[in-house]
Amino acid sequence: MQVPPLSKFDEICFGVSAFVELVKNILEIIAIVAGGIWTYFNFFKGRTYRPRLECSVDGSVEESSGQRFLKVVVRAKNVGLSKVPIEQKGTILQLYEAIPPSSNPESPFQATWNDSPAVFDVFKEHAWIEPSEPVEDHVLIELPNNNAPAYKLNLKVLSKKISWTARNIIRGYKQDVREAPNGEGSRSDAS
Read off the pTM: 0.68
Report pLDDT for 24.
95
Report pLDDT for 139.
96
Q: Write the pLDDT tens digit of every residue in 48-86.
A: 677 889 999 999 998 888 888 999 999 999 998 888 999
Q: What are phi and psi of 168, to 5 degrees?
A: -155, 150
**Quick one: what percent of the chain has pLDDT higher than 90?**
49
Task: Give the integer Cα–Cα distance in Å for 87 and 163.
Answer: 10
Domain map (residue ranges) of the chain: 1-46, 53-103+110-178
Cα separation values, 174 from 16, 51, 91, 169, 177, Å: 89, 40, 31, 15, 10
Contact 121, 92 (CB under 8 A): yes
Inform me whether the pLDDT recorded for 178 exceeds 60. Answer: no
Q: Residue 174: which pLDDT band, with cuts at 50, 70 and 90?
A: low
Report pLDDT for 97.
93
Q: Residue 7: which pLDDT band, with cuts at 50, 70 and 90?
A: confident
Return the exposure string of 174-183: e unless at least 16 CB atoms fall within 10 Å of the residue's CB, then b: eeeeeeeeee
Task: Give the integer Cα–Cα distance in Å for 184 and 187.
Answer: 10
Cα separation values, 41 from 30, 31, 37, 108, 114, Å: 17, 15, 6, 51, 47
Q: 53-103+110-178 sits in which CATH class? A: mainly beta
Q: What are phi and psi of 160, to 5 degrees?
A: 55, -120
Angle formed at CA 69 by CA 154 and CA 137, multiple of 5 degrees? 50
Contact 93, 165 (CB under 8 A): no
Looking at residue 101, the DSSP 8-state letter turns out to be P
Task: Give the integer Cα–Cα distance in Å for 23 and 28.
Answer: 9
Segment 160-167 shows an average pLDDT of 93
Segment 95-124 shows an average pLDDT of 88
